[in-house]
A and B are shown apart, each in its own frame.
Chain A
Amino acid sequence: MGFLDISNVTKAYGNVEVLHHVDISVQEGEFLVLVGPSGCGKSTLLNMIAGLEGISSGDISIKGKVVNGVHPSKRNIAMVFQSYALYPNMTVAQNITFGLEMHGIPKAERDKALAEVAKLLQIDHLLSRKPGQLSGGQRQRVAMGRALVRNPDVFLFDEPLSNLDAKLRVDMRTEIKKLHHKLKTTIVYVTHDQIEAMTLSTRIAVMYKGYVQQLGTPKEIYDTPANLFVATFMGSPAMNILPARVVTENGAPHAEITDADGQKRHLRFSGNGIASWANRDILLGIRPEAITDPEGADRKSGNVQQIRNRVTVTEPAGSDTFVTMTLSGKDAISRMRADSNVVPGETFDFAINMDKAVAFDPESENRIVV
């Protein structure tokens, strides 16, 4: 049993079930990120933890106590909303201490807590302003201050960075991570941004269509995605998914794909697990960074397969150059070093790190252990 337990929880609006049998157990001090495309039910789940939405069936418990019917203010949780939800008529100081006031904390104690939080978030100089006089980043800080001051058991964040511009978003992301390192409070964080999910979390729950598709560490999610959805949703550019056939050569399973000219190419799998799929079609998943120029190949990999192929487009992105080529009739993207000298229309050698390749059942779209 964890610190925050979501057991077999479903949510229905009328006859429409929007969350199906969600099971997540969060340990104390964990940073759990709920990630998924818009409308997958992330906010609904978060609101159920907060007590803002009812639970149709199942249980949510915090510190071993079922909180299903407990009022939001009695769950000892704090929430940061996407719009920040700062009270427009109150000053920053009043915004931050409103919750303490409602809980009957004496003024002297409130002021002390306020001073601490203001110092931690560096908003001392803003305390007498109204929210309307703050920038987006400052509002964001105040919203976090309001959550922090309560010293809650669980922090809930609903897309807290999505209203900030790109640069500020990255800064605040780092700041939230630092804050978590310092305070070690349990956090449940909702985002549709997979990079936020990867960088912030200790564990990720990838959600889609009201189901938790996979729950695991960022590395597990990235390297061994449970299914095709998780594989393509996490990572940017997205994982290349190539129709392939499993063939046996020299007793070892290979993926048979075609190059830009329609020539058959064989790539040896690193394991034998997929041998039972011999002579059947699969979907081969290769991340862009696993296709490089031969000199840039991962030296620690035990299985780099070389393939010669024609380049369609190159996209220099400063730190990397993205190179598009055709594999098995699909556009495949490879991430090359910025100074690699590939040219569109010509053929080059590429190194594919098959240690990182994954395979999916084309029918069920679940991952096959290679």
Chain B
Amino acid sequence: MMSAASQETAVSTGRIARTFIYLVLLLFSLYYLLPLYVMVVNSVKPLSEITGGNMMALPQTFTLEPWASAWSTAQIGVEPTGLKPYFINSILMVVPAVAISTILGALNGYVLTKWRFKYDGIVFGLLLFSCFIPFQIVLIPMAVVLGKLGIAGSVSGLVLVHVVYGIGFTTLYYRNYYAAFPTELVRAAMIDGAGFFRIFWRILLPVSGPITVVSVIWQFTNIWNDFLFGVSFGGTRQPMTVALNNLVQSSTGVKEYNVHFAGAILAALPTLLVYIVAGRYFVRGLMAGSVKG
């Protein structure tokens, strides 16, 4: 009797609680989606509709003109190039930077967990420490280093900066992931005659999917969205973020809000895409790394 009664109340309060939770979640979603809505809606309106009307209203005349302008003709700084060349700069920077920092992080994690050496704890501690260094502190030393290497103001310079800055994070991810990987497997492979790289390639890497997704998403978003390194070291090969700023901040003529909105979406598109494609694995990989590590 007692238990049946309490079960019933449990069910009914559960229903109320659930409705409440869904309501709250819905509100949050709306709150987060609102800016996106504003951006999309206004990027397909003629400028007159924005300046003369309501930001929240749907377009009366639909146009892709702002997108075309943002992509190829808008004034970026002094050149009417559109965002296209900068988008390419960003791609050229982000792809190698993500790939290199992820591969190095995986190798570091592998060595730090499976090929222990003297003072490996200190090495890991220092790498971890690098995650907490604010960008601003490294600006001047980095400028000196890039100058000495002769790659200041180039895409390779930016790649180097992002690789150096990213290794701390990628190492942390892979180290925690591989710490949960049974060492007996590595020993079995050693007895089987596999060497250092063969064990990495054939035994560890095939099961590293989830954490690789985490590392790639993390690195991609951070490097793509970075502004400070880009504006400091980009020189003539500046990334998308800097160009977007120049587009929005350009003081000549009227402010073409519709073009700005289109440009902003263009700048956000790649990270959005990465999340949609790999987001599912992102959560799974984060859990695997943190729970087991």
Contacts and interface: CB of A to CB of B under 8 A. Distances in A.
Contact of A89 (B187, B191, B207): B207
Given A87-B203, A89-B206, A89-B207, A73 B192 contact: yes
B192 A52 contact: no
Contacts of B207: 88-89
B193 A79 contact: no
A37 to B, nearest CB: 21
Contacts of B190: 52, 71-73
A85 interface: yes
Interface in A75-108: 77-79, 81-83, 85-89, 98-99, 102-103
B292 interface: no
A85 B198 contact: no
Contacts of A103: 193
Contacts of B198: 102
A77 B189 CA distance: 13
A85 B203 contact: no
B187 A87 contact: no
Contacts of A88: 185, 207
Contact of A83 (B182, B189, B192, B194): B182
B185 A102 contact: no
Nearest to A74: B193
Given A87-B203, A89-B206, A102-B198, A81 B188 contact: yes
Interface string B176-214: 000000101101111111100010001100110000000
Interface bin, chain A? 20 to 34
A112 B206 CA distance: 27
B184 A98 contact: no
Contact of A85 (B187, B193, B202): B187
Contacts of B184: 81-83, 85
Nearest to A80: B188
A102 B203 contact: no
A82 B189 CA distance: 15
A87 B189 contact: yes
Interface string B201-239: 011001100000000000000000000000000000000
B178 to A, nearest CB: 14
Contacts of A86: 185
Contacts of A79: 187-188, 191
Interface bin, chain B? 10 to 19
B206 A77 contact: no
A324 B145 CA distance: 82
A50 B187 CA distance: 10
Contacts of B188: 79, 81, 85, 87, 146
B185 A99 contact: no
Contacts of A102: 192-194, 198
Contacts of B191: 50-52, 72-73, 77-79, 99
A98 to B, nearest CB: 5
A71 B185 CA distance: 16
Interface in B92-140: none
Interface in A22-78: 47, 50-52, 71-73, 77-78
Given A89-B206, A102-B194, A102-B198, A52 B189 contact: no
A54 to B, nearest CB: 13
A145 to B, nearest CB: 13
Nearest to B190: A72
A344 B206 CA distance: 63
Interface string A174-197: 000000000000000000000000
A98 B192 contact: yes
A99 B187 CA distance: 12
- Max chain A Cβ within 10 angstroms of own Cβ: one of B184, B192, B193, B194: B192
A12 B206 CA distance: 35
Contact of A99 (B182, B193, B203, B206): B193
Contacts of A87: 185, 188-189, 202-203
Contact of B192 (A47, A51, A82, A99): A99
Contacts of A73: 190-194
Interface of B: 182, 184-185, 187-194, 198, 202-203, 206-207
7 contacts: A52-B191, A72-B191, A77-B191, A82-B184, A85-B185, A86-B185, A87-B188
The 3 A-B residue pairs with the shortest CB-CB distance, nearest first, are A73-B193, A102-B193, A99-B192
Given A73-B194, A77-B191, A79-B191, 9 more contacts: A52-B187, A79-B188, A81-B188, A83-B184, A85-B182, A85-B187, A87-B185, A98-B192, A102-B194
